[in-house]
Structure 1
Amino acid sequence: MSIFRIQPAVESKWLKRASAPGAIRAWLVDILCWPAQFEDPTVEQAFTEDYGRRFADFRRAALVLGTLIWVCFGFWEIRLAQTSPVFAPYFPEVFAFRCAGALGATVGIVLAFRLAFHRDDVAHWILLLGLAFMCLCLLMQTVLAPRPFNFTHFFVGFYLILFYQFGFLRLRAKATLMLTLCVIAAIVLAQLITRAVEPDNFAAGMFYLLNVAVLGHSVNVNAERHVRDRYIAIQALAHGNDALQGVNAELAQKHRDLEQARRDQQTQSEALIALREQQREAAERASRAKSRFLAAAAHDLRQPMHALNLFLAAADEALGAGDVEASGKLIGEARKASVLTARLFNGVLDLSKLESGHVKPNYTSVDLSRVSEETVAQLAPFAASRGVALRYGRTQQGPAWVRTDADWIPRVLSNLVSNGIKYADPAKAGRSVVLVGLVRMPNYVRIDVIDNGIGIASEHWDAIFQPFVQIGNPERDREKGLGLGLSIVNAVVSLLEGHRLELKSIEGHGSRFSVRLPAADPFAHRDAALSLADAAASPSPASLRGLYVLLVEDDSLVRASMEALFARWGVLFDSVRSVAELHDLLQAIERVPDLVISDYRLPEMSTAHDVVRLLAGHFSRPVPCLVVTGEAAAGAQGVLPERCVLSKPLSTDVLIARMLELTEVSAKAG
């Protein structure tokens, strides 16, 4: 930095001046001219910040002391008015300016303790304006007071102000000199106009006043130069210490390297054994960390899978006994367990996709009011089962259109509401409430989820957004979820443009999660409303009857389940397990398939991209391909459109809807 190049330049300048014939003149210039700023603006800024912080308390104390001195002179004026009949008639007007000065100084003290007084520029404005005001009040007292009191008792006050200004307030030399010149000019102008002070006294007073100004300015210049030199020295010392520490560290590292090399040469076999031991311990630590992660994820997944197996076993026995009604109920319960398992798997997969950066938001206009109402309606039974009152409120009626992702934002709201319900305070039985509120603003809409549950301590606010972290649930109670809900919420809000997540919580009193969403373009509302109306219709398997589908799936269980569904839906299909079998099948079929459904990863190092290329080379028109995969990044590994990729596990409603969508688009294109 340039700060470390200043000191040598100053020294060389002094040497040149000392050897020149005009050494005395140069010395006077250095004494009376204020120090120049540092060449580097960043260094000058750092210096002023350090200067202001260093003298802030000193300046406050000096300001209080000066105010007390000013007030003490007021008591002296009261005493003078009582003892001098000549001064008494002028006392009210003179004392009024004494009070005005005291009031101005008090205002300066208040500002010094309330504003950013540690900033040098702020301190200078407050102190310089205060000094100017005090000089004005003293000048008015000098003009109003009778002779010779105006000179003997008031004019001499200017000496005190200058001593105080140059010696106590630590002001910069240039600023104090400008103020002093303005004050002297004002005194001379007032004398020329009013002739208040006797000419001889005025000439003598100005002579001493100018001497005080010159001496005070020279002291101020040298004080500021000393502070600047000290700042340079401190910074240079710090820089030297850093450099010395760096050199010492390098030397120490070289010494350690040499010592390590010597020990390695002497005990090479022992070092290899130690290295193998370290690698083994590192592998064990990594294995334990992976096991903890899998255990945390699998804990909640085992329960519904276990229940699923038991329900199916019971249903099988009921069918064997001929009890169709009981078997139907048991299969329904098994399906619930299967749905729960799918949701838990999807939670882990969603978080994986979001954190990997493979999710691309699909922004549309969404009615947040409708989403909130639907979420509250869906979770109302769950809230009632937990003894929690779930309420929905909004500031205005009508739609609340926002620009967001229509698929992700309902899941964000659902996770937040579920979280509030799960963490209701048991001590508030019958009084637990979760409130969903909607607040409309000109540029954004805010959705608030407020509960009076157990609350979250401030030291845990960051941790709760980490995967598998559940404060207050060390036993991993499945009723309180996997610990992924808030992680998914945080990942989604971070992904969506213009969205922001806020948390306020008091332990023992409850929490408020707020999501701010940007308001949507009002011209897009009509199209969005039509899209929502179209989406409201539930897909029907009957719409798929007669379609011809090619299924490419290497997993026999998944292929058998898909074939069973197609048969129930009236879908015509052929199924193969690999790209090679698909190639042979394409040579024999006589009908162009309406849709191809394929897994992403296939045998013989093939993928769904090979399926797409094979179809494009065999048929003259495009055939839609739907990829159903368990790989989170399948859509990003090639040219597959996002709408053509579904993640396992998935519900039949989603599968039917996507099959209809792709076949309809293909039919319109054809």
Structure 2
Amino acid sequence: MEKINILIVDDRPENIIALEALLQRPDIDLITTTNPNEALRISWEMDIAIALVDVQMPEMDGFELVEILKSNPRTKDILIIFVTAISKETKYAVKGLNTGAVDYLYKPLDPFVTSAKVDSFIQFVRNQRDLKSKNTQLEAYQKELIKAKELAEQGKRIKENFLANMSHEIRTPINGIIGIAHLLEKTGLSAEQKEMVSLLEISSNSLLGVINDILDLSKIEAGKFKINRTETDLSSLCYSVINLLRIRAKEKKLALKTDLDSNLPKHVLADSLRLNQILMNLIGNAIKFTTEGSVTLKVEILDTKGNNAHIRFSIIDTGIGIAKENIEKIFETFEQADEQTTVKFGGTGLGLSIVKNLAKLKGGVLEVSSEECKGSTFCFSNWYEVVKEENTPVAVETQKEKLTPFNNLKILVAEDNPINKFLIVKILNEWMIDTDVVENGKDAIEQIRINDYNLILMDTFMPVMNGLDAIKLIRDGYAPGKENIPIITFSAAVMENDKKTAINAGANDVISKPFDLEVLHQKIARYTTTD
């Protein structure tokens, strides 16, 4: 235990000896002096916690000494106890307390009172020092927390930048592959070549699916993933998922079955996109890990309350199954049941992690039961609001809008990737659009100064000057009179912040790579149509 320093100041040595005899104990150090000036020096040089000061002393009385101590930042916190033989009148006590004392001891000293008072102040000092120590620790912890928070935020920014760059670097070439495959389909191909183009599209879309899975996980972790509930036809959704995966099941000679509850409501309020994602992942996984037998999608109503139905989607397979000790592991990001599973079946280990997170976000429950070599059952259940049939609008079949040519349009394309450049120009030329092409933002703004365009298609990431910097210069009047020209950016970065950044820079719209031809046609028409 740390010792407490107590200073005794009295001009009479016998009084000091008497106090020392009363206060002597192992947990305190007593420092004494008969000289007030010496007391000041000791107080400044040593860590004095408590001072017992005689009131009446020659040269400098106790009141004057305490006033000096209390006026100095280094000694102002010393606890002062006045020791006096003068009158106990109130005016003297008030004067002492106003000077800064915390208590009085009156001569002749009562041993019990003196000991008790000093004990209480020693405990007070210990408590104060303990509190100060804890406050210092708390301040240190707070600094560490602030530093950890800053590091976490920095890590988050690095991660988001990495994902944005990864998205751009991978989605850009995929955009080229999918686009060229689409153009190839329109040329005269043999049956064998058509099959090869079809496989090319399937492979590209599969790779795109992996990237989207990673980005979805990132959005969920960042809390930026939104659930949008709309009127959904559950039966149609289930059958469409089964039809999409039927070819994969057929290739493995698996029976792909559906078992839908006859009382299943026609329409419910659900996030159809995310429900589709959950079913696609679970059924796709079941097909992947089943070598013979069947995969069944079973949908049943568990309960109803008022206008709400508790619906369970079960995916039952006769596949390899999962060992009990590995069941929790399969829901972790980039994890599979064991190393042999990865070697034999491949995959990223992202599907079930996304399903688990989506189920949680939707307020549903995900359960799994499995037995090795016999199969697994994955169940997703949730409450859905049933849409009354009379409120269901009659679906009207609409033909896809034909992608008609444009008249007298001139568009500047700023794109550095040669494949995407070739692809975009070919598509625009098919739509009878006159195009100029540049490879960076600097050349783009120079072209705009020289020529007139109806629209600019600007890639976000380019060398020399990126698209966003070029847009800002255009909006700031680099090419006088052309500040309001419509600009659509192509971006392979699909994070929400990237889209906001493009709009904030002055872009009218953003098209994500790989882009849909109908979406591109629609946006060009929207920004070039004059009333």
- How far apart are 1:664 and its partner, in Å? 5.8
Q: Distance in 2 between matches of 1:350 and 1:611?
A: 29
Measure how far apart 1:630 and its partner are.
3.5
Match status 1:629 vs 2:492 = yes
Q: Quote the Cα distance in structure 2 between the aligned partners of 1:544 and 1:452.
A: 52
Q: Which amino acid letter does the alignment assign opposite residue 635 of structure 1?
A: K
Q: Residue in 2 aligned with 1:561?
A: 423
1:501 maps onto 2:361 in alignment: no
- TM-superposed CA distance for 1:526, in Å, is 5.8
TM-score (norm 2): 0.53
Cα offset, 1:482, TM superposition: 2.7
Matched, 1:423 2:289: yes
Pairing 1:662–2:523 present: yes
Distance 2:530 2:367 in 1: 45
CA contact 2:322–2:370 (8 Å) conserved in 1:
yes
Give a deviation string over 1:153-176, Cα, whole Å, max 9, x none: xxxxxxxxxxxxxxxxxxxxxxxx
Q: With the length of structure 1 as denominator, give the TM-score of the two structures.
A: 0.43
Q: Deviations over 1:361-380 (max 9, x none)?
A: 44322222211110111111
Root-mean-square deviation (Å): 4.7
Partner of 1:344: 210
- Gaps in structure 1 of 5+ consecutive residues: 1-246, 251-289
What is residue 160 of structure 1 aligned with on the other side?
A: none
Alignment partner, residue 474 of structure 2: 614
How far residue 401 of structure 1 moved from its aligned partner, in angstroms, is 2.9
Shift in alpha-carbon separation, 1:330–1:600, aligned structure 2, 3 A: same
Change beyond 3 A, Cα 1:543–1:472: farther
Counterpart selection for 1:450 from 304, 316, 329: 316
Judge which range, 505-514 or 609-618, deviates more: 609-618
- How far does the alpha carbon of each residue in 1:298-328 deviate from its partner, in whole angstroms, 9 at most, with x for none? xxx9xxx9xx9xxx9xx9xxx9xx9967555
Give the aligned partner of residue 257 of structure 2.
391
Rate the CA distance shift 1:526–1:580 in 2: closer, same or farther, 3 A.
farther
Residues 1:515 and 2:375 aligned together? no
Counterparts of 1:398-477 in structure 2, within 5 Å, are 400-424=266-290, 426=291, 429=292, 431-439=293-301, 441-442=303-304, 443-444=308-309, 445-472=311-338, 474=340, 476-477=342-343
Give 3-state SS (helix, strand or coil) of 1:514's partner: strand
* Within-5 A mapping of 1:164-203: none
Equivalent of residue 440 in structure 2, options 560, 563, 578? 578
Give me the whole-angstrom Cα distance separating, in 1, the residues matched to 2:445 and 2:359.
44
Summarize deviations over 1:362-415 as a string: whole Å, max 9, x none.
Answer: 432222221111011111121122122111122136754333334333222111
For 1:370, the aligned partner's letter is S
Deviations 1:156-215 (A, max 9, x none): xxxxxxxxxxxxxxxxxxxxxxxxxxxxxxxxxxxxxxxxxxxxxxxxxxxxxxxxxxxx
> Whole-Å Cα distance in 1 between the matches of residues 380 and 507 of structure 2?
26
Question: What is the distance in 1 between the residues matched to 2:255 and 2:275?
Answer: 23
SS of match in other structure, 1:453 = coil
Residue pair 1:434, 1:452 contacting (<8 A) in 2 also: no
Contact 1:553 1:559 in 2 (8 A): yes
Q: Which amino acid in the other structure matches residue 659 of structure 1?
A: L
Q: Which amino acid aligns with 2:499?
A: G
Partner of 2:233 in structure 1?
367
Query: Equivalent residue for 1:486?
Result: 352
Ranges in structure 2 where 5+ consecutive residues have no aligned partner = 1-129, 134-158
Q: Deviations over 1:59-93 (max 9, x none)?
A: xxxxxxxxxxxxxxxxxxxxxxxxxxxxxxxxxxx
Do the aligned residues in 2 keep the contact of 1:554 with 1:578 (CA within 8 Å)?
yes
Deviation at 1:611, TM superposition (A): 2.5
Describe the SS at the equivalent of 1:408: helix
Secondary structure of 1:601's partner?
Answer: coil
The alpha-carbon deviation at position 587 of structure 1 amounts to 2.8
- In 2, the alpha carbon distance for the partners of 1:503 and 1:528 equals 37
Contact 1:361–1:405, Cα closer than 8 Å, also in 2 = yes
1:476 aligns to what SS in structure 2? Answer: helix
Percent sequence identity over matched residues? 23
Which residue is 1:597 aligned to?
457
The superposition leaves residues 503-542 of structure 1 with CA deviations (integer Å, 9 ceiling, x where unpaired) of 33344443222233442473799677659x55xx5565x3
**Rg bigger for which structure?**
1
Task: Work out whether residues 368 and 402 of structure 1, in 8 Å CA contact, stay in contact via their aligned partners in 2.
Answer: yes
Aligned residues: 350
Q: Which structure is higher in RCO with an 8 Å CA cutoff and minimum separation 6?
A: 2
CA distance in 1, matches of 2:288, 2:223: 29
Aligned to 1:116: none
Q: Deviations over 1:22-55 (max 9, x none)?
A: xxxxxxxxxxxxxxxxxxxxxxxxxxxxxxxxxx
Shift of 1:418: 0.6
Partner Cα distance (2:190, 2:525) in 1: 39
User: Structure 1 residues 473-482 or 406-415, which shifts more?
Assistant: 473-482
Q: Distance in 1 between matches of 2:528 and 2:221?
A: 36
For residue 353 of structure 2, what is the amino acid of its counterpart? S
Matches within 5 A, 1:520-539: 520=385, 522=387, 530=395, 538=400
Provide the C-alpha distance between the structure 2 equivalents of 1:473 and 1:529, rounded to a whole number of angstroms: 51
**Contact 2:415–2:421 at 8 Å: present in 1 too?**
yes
Structure 1 pair 334–421 and aligned structure 2 pair: CA distance change class (3 A): closer
- Contact 1:624 / 1:662 at 8 angstroms: preserved in 2? no
> For residues 658 and 437 of structure 1, what CA distance do their matches in structure 2 show?
34
Decide whether the 8 Å contact of 1:365 with 1:525 is kept in 2: no
Change (3 A) 1:538 1:492: farther
Specify the SS of the correspondent of 1:377. Answer: helix
More strand by share: 2
> How far off its partner does 1:619 sit?
5.3
Separation in 1 of the partners of 2:499 and 2:511?
Answer: 9
**Using a 3 Å threshold, how does the CA distance of structure 1 residues 628 and 330 change in structure 2: closer, same or farther?**
same
| C-alpha distance 599-361 of structure 1, shift in aligned 2 (>3 A) | farther
The structure 1 residue matched to 2:449, chosen from 579, 584, 587, is 587
> How far apart, in 2, do the equivalents of 1:642 and 1:622 lie?
10
Q: Give how far 1:420 is off.
A: 1.0
Secondary structure at 1:482 match in 2: coil
The CA deviation at 1:602 is 3.4
Contact 1:616–1:623 (CA<8 Å) still a contact in 2?
no
User: For each residue in 1:324-382, what CA deviation from the matched residue of structure 2 results, as whole angstroms up to 9, or x when unmatched?
Assistant: 67555544444443333333343334434443444444432222221111011111121
Aligned residue type for 2:460 = Y
Provide, for residues 537-573 of structure 1, a one-character-per-residue CA deviation record: whole Å limited to 9, x for no partner: 5565x34655654433233332223223333454443
